[in-house]
Amino acid sequence: MSIKEIFSKLPFTKRHLYILAATVAILLLYHIISNVLAKPDIVKEVPYVRTVTVGKETVDNTSSYPGEVRGRYESDLAFQVAGKIISRSVNLGDTVKTGDILMQIDPKDIEQSFEASQAAVTAAEANYKLARDNASRYTALYNSGGVSKAMMEQYNTQMEAAASSLRQAQAQLITNSNQLSYTQLIADHDGVVANVSGEVGQVVAAGTPVVTVVQSGEQEIQIYVPENHLDKIY
């Protein structure tokens, strides 16, 4: 039996079918409207809470200034005599020890002066020896009545002059000897070479710094502060 035959046997009239169709249509319409008007699900978000500690407000009053770390003691080394640099044994950043030779200037002129002073001392010694012998001989003659007192004093005066000339020549020899040693620039302390301003072939005057050595030991920070910021420091 078909569905049509089944429905034909049911006691439904056309009016009943219209009511049933209207009911189904109303239910479908209600379902559609309910879906449209339904409130969307609300996702509850956990609020972000920021805590602040109540207290004294801190303000960053710090300032930055340029500076550099330096050795507390620096030696600007210079030759004590003038001359032409013929050798350089150190470079920037080298570590040196007391007594190390850093540079050397041409010693030829000073060597000649040193040799001349040696010859002068030799001559002064000979003159003094002669004057001393004469003074001793004439003193003996005076004591025996062979010469006058004036003649004896004359030779004693010559001996004193010769002695003075000898001392002068010896002093000049020491000076020239020192100048000969000054042709070598020697490190006076242990440290690190911080600056080199002398080069081989350069003629330098006495007292002109050519090497700076930062002495080993304590260090300090040198900061450059503008004048209008000095009140922040004190």
Encode pLDDT of 6-46 as tens digits: 555 555 566 766 777 778 778 777 777 776 665 555 555 65
**Average pLDDT, stretch 145-173?**
94
pLDDT recorded at residue 30 = 73
**Residue 67, pLDDT above cutoff 90:** no
More confident call, 71 vs 160: 160
Alpha helices in the chain, H assignment, sequence order:
3-9, 14-37, 108-143, 149-181
Q: What is the DSSP string of 20-75?
A: HHHHHHHHHHHHHHHHHHSPPPPPPPPPP------SPPP--------EEEEES-EE
CB proximity list for 189: less than 8 A, separation 6 or greater: 73, 75, 98, 213, 215, 216
* 108-182 CATH: 1.10.287.470
pLDDT, residue 204, reads: 95
Of 3-7, 74-78, 184-188, which range is least confident?
A: 3-7
Average of per-residue pLDDT values in the chain? 82
Name the 3-class secondary structure at 111.
helix
pLDDT at res. 25 = 79
- Looking at residue 232, its pLDDT comes to 61
**pLDDT (tens digit per residue) in 173-232:** 999 999 999 999 999 889 999 999 999 999 999 999 999 999 876 666 667 677 766 666
Q: How confident is the model at residue 108 (pLDDT cuts 50, 70, 90)?
A: very high
For residue 171, pLDDT beyond 90: yes
Cβ partners under 8 Å of residue 96, min gap 6: 90, 102, 187, 190, 191, 192, 193, 213
pLDDT at 215: 87
For 63-76, what is the mean pLDDT? 72
According to the model, what pLDDT value does residue 23 have?
Answer: 81
What number of residues does the chain have? Answer: 234
Pick the CATH number of 70-106+183-234 from 1.10.150.20, 2.40.50.100, 3.60.15.10, 1.20.120.790: 2.40.50.100
The Cβ-side half-sphere exposure at 192, using a 13 Å CA radius, reads: 10
Percent of the chain at pLDDT above 90? 56
Residue 47 clears pLDDT 80, i.e. is over it:
no
Q: Residue 117's pLDDT band (boundaries 50, 70, 90)? A: very high
Element (H, E) at 10: none
Please tell me the distance from the alpha carbon of residue 230 to that of residue 81, in angstroms, as a whole number: 43
Fill in the amino acid letter for 20: L
Which is more confidently placed, 120 or 1?
A: 120
